Amino acid sequence: SFGQNYPEEADGTLDCISMALTCTFNRWGTLLAVGCNDGRIVIWDFLTRGIAKIISAHIHPVCSLCWSRDGHKLVSASTDNIVSQWDVLSGDCDQRFRFPSPILKVQYHPRDQNRVLVCPMKSAPVMLTLSDSKHVVLPVDDDSDLNVVASFDRRGEYIYTGNAKGKILVLKTDTQDLVASFRVTTGTSNTTAIKSIEFARKGSCFLINTADRIIRVYDGREILTCGRDGEPEPMQKLQDLVNRTPWKKCCFSGDGEYIVAGSARQHALYIWEKSIGNLVKILHGTRGELLLDVAWHPVRPIIASISSGVVSIWAQNQVENWSAFAPDFKELDENVEYEERESEFDIEDEDKSEPEQTGADAAEDEEVDVTSVDPIAAFCSSDEELEDSKALLYLPIAPEVEDPEENPYGPPPDAVQSSLTDEGIGSEKKRQSSSDGPQAPKKKPKTTNIELQGVPNDEVHPLLGVKGDGKSKKKQAGRPKGSKGKDKDSPFKPKLYKGDRGALPLEGAAKGKVQAELGQPLTAGGAISELL
């Protein structure tokens, strides 16, 4: 593509009916998974901008999502400390893990979807192995400082962890050995807390978002060269010097050439060019809204951002270019007098020279290969020749038939009479299994309890203690498990909410606390924010 490669204007919204909290694109940008406040995962077909699937995933809000490399699986975390893996095509849960403290982030290993990195609150990061449900607690720099964030690098060879004292550790993924480390310092050797670490899809760069409101961009190769207790210099330091904006979420563009950061104060997206470090664009959303998440499309200049429960799409302005349809078409600013050639409108051109058998005519005899498909370069990594043949790029959408007049898969009409009773039951079962609601008979997924030493089990997830978007402040704190005011009558609302709210499977000290809040939901706002 030519010209600048970043979005310039709003290009519509995606409304999930429920309140959207987090979103992530699959590796090709064909599907967008959105985690919602009522525990559902809504998968959008990004080409048609329509909902392709809804998975009734959790009871509590979904706070983190990640696609597997081949797009067949999704891993999700909810605010009730549960991590689940989902089969995208069937919508079934493969397995569950219950943690003692809230989950801030889940991430698949970029090349091995059997391993998942989990960042629990007030705990060292944990690497899960899905096949045998085992887990490994990653080593940390300082056992007294367990506010740790972590991320796999682009290929998953190393795990980068960062703590509240600005210390970054680089661990070998397979052995958890420390291979490099450094400290992020502000100008006067003061340390600053690491809020997040994000890697580019292309190249070896990564960024660190810190509490001092500066985004530092580093080259991963330099970090490894510097080794333990190295002092690498950031390639770029990006910040908003005018407003001193703190950043909620940062990420790279698909080609790694741009960096977008979402403000933690308002719905505003700042885009910088990585190579120069100059601010190229600020995209402003609705005033007064708070930003929750930002995701850049893997191969196109498109950004998805979430605020007030709605996904906003930002894209480039499409200019009509008629010469794209007719190469000899010229667009004129004003009328031009046309001079016609002598023989232009003659039936037979007398002045025409004899045609020569060259160029186009000669090329007509060549055989053109129309069957083999070239791999799309943007979908292949630099160490891959071919695309993944088993990849799940799109979801089939089956039309939902309320009352089918006849069963198209059943026996012929004369056989129906004899087996009417059996057939009625069979078609009912078939209809149930085709819908992806929770009522279909499914095998119960295996749940593994993850025991972590010395981790407090009464922590409240930051999402539940957030001040919210003005009008939903108190409701959000008092109802940690479900929908905000606007989707009270949502047709998609799980049946669970209609029963007794006190009978939720909550554990430990959190149980009494939440029940107390449910008794008086309007005064609970202060209680949870004090806990944070």
Quick one: DSSP state of residue 338?
A: P
* pLDDT score, position 523: 38
Residue with tokens 């069957």: 371
- DSSP H or E run through 416: helix 413-418
- Residue 65: CB atoms within 10 A of its CB come to 24
| Distance from C-alpha of 476 to C-alpha of 294, rounded to nearest angstrom | 21
| Distance from C-alpha of 530 to C-alpha of 532, rounded to nearest angstrom | 5
Residues 6+ apart with CB under 8 A from 347: none
Tokens for 394?
């799109």
Q: What is the DSSP string of 85-146?
A: EEETTT--EEEEEE-SS-EEEEEE-SS-TTEEEEEETTB--EEEETTTTEEEEPP-S-TT--
Q: What is the pLDDT along the chain (532 residues), one digit of tens a residue?
A: 455 789 999 999 999 889 999 999 999 999 999 999 999 999 999 989 999 999 999 999 999 999 999 999 999 999 999 999 999 999 999 999 999 999 999 999 999 999 999 999 988 999 999 999 889 999 888 878 788 999 999 999 999 999 999 999 999 999 999 999 999 988 777 888 999 999 999 989 999 999 999 999 999 999 999 999 998 999 999 999 899 999 999 999 998 999 999 999 999 999 999 999 999 999 999 888 999 999 999 999 999 999 999 999 999 987 777 667 777 777 788 888 888 887 778 777 666 666 655 555 555 667 888 888 777 777 777 777 677 778 888 888 766 666 655 555 555 545 444 444 444 444 443 334 444 444 445 667 778 787 777 777 777 887 777 544 433 333 343 333 444 444 444 434 443 433 333 333 334 444 444 344 444 334 344 444 443 4
Distance of CA 23 to the CA centre of its chain: 4
Q: Half-sphere exposure of residue 90, counting CA atoms within 13 Å on the CB side?
A: 11
Tokens for 397?
């959408």
- DSSP H or E run through 448: strand 446-449
| Distance from C-alpha of 196 to C-alpha of 249, rounded to nearest angstrom | 8
Tokens for 410?
């059943």
Provide the sign of the torsion angle of the four alpha carbons 496, 499, 501, 502, taken in this order. Answer: negative
Residue 5 exposed, middle or buried by CB count within 10 Å (0-12, 13-18, 19+): middle
Q: Half-sphere exposure of residue 377, counting CA atoms within 13 Å on the CB side?
A: 2
Q: Half-sphere exposure of residue 58, counting CA atoms within 13 Å on the CB side?
A: 31
| Distance from C-alpha of 407 to C-alpha of 423, rounded to nearest angstrom | 9
Q: How many residues does the chain have?
A: 532
Kindly calculate the radius of gyration of the chain based on its CA atoms and give it in whole angstroms: 28
DSSP E strand stretches across 244-355? 247-252, 258-263, 268-273, 279-284, 291-296, 303-307, 310-315
Identity of the amino acid at 34: V
* pLDDT score, position 338: 85
CB distance 23 to 311 below 8 Å: yes
| Distance from C-alpha of 436 to C-alpha of 41, rounded to nearest angstrom | 12
Choose among 260, 265, 266: nearest CA to 304: 260
Choose among 488, 470, 490, 491: nearest CA to 479: 488
Residue 532 exposed, middle or buried by CB count within 10 Å (0-12, 13-18, 19+): exposed
SS3 of residue 430 by DSSP: helix
Tell me the pLDDT tens digit for each residue of 84-140: 999 999 999 999 999 999 999 999 999 999 999 999 998 899 999 999 988 999 988
SS3 of residue 495 by DSSP: helix
Extract long-range pairs of 523-531: CB within 8 Å, 24+ residues apart: 523/474, 524/474, 524/477, 524/478, 525/473, 525/474, 525/477, 525/478, 527/477, 528/460, 528/464, 528/465, 528/477, 528/480, 529/465, 529/467, 529/477, 531/459, 531/460, 531/465
CB distance 234 to 216 below 8 Å: yes
Tokens for 414?
């004369």
Q: Residue 75's beta-bridge partner residues?
A: 66, 85
Q: Half-sphere exposure of residue 373, counting CA atoms within 13 Å on the CB side?
A: 5
Residues 6+ apart with CB under 8 A from 457: 100, 101, 507, 508, 509, 510
Measuring CA to CA, how many Å separate 85 from each of 29, 244, 436?
20, 39, 16
Distance of CA 250 to the CA centre of its chain: 12
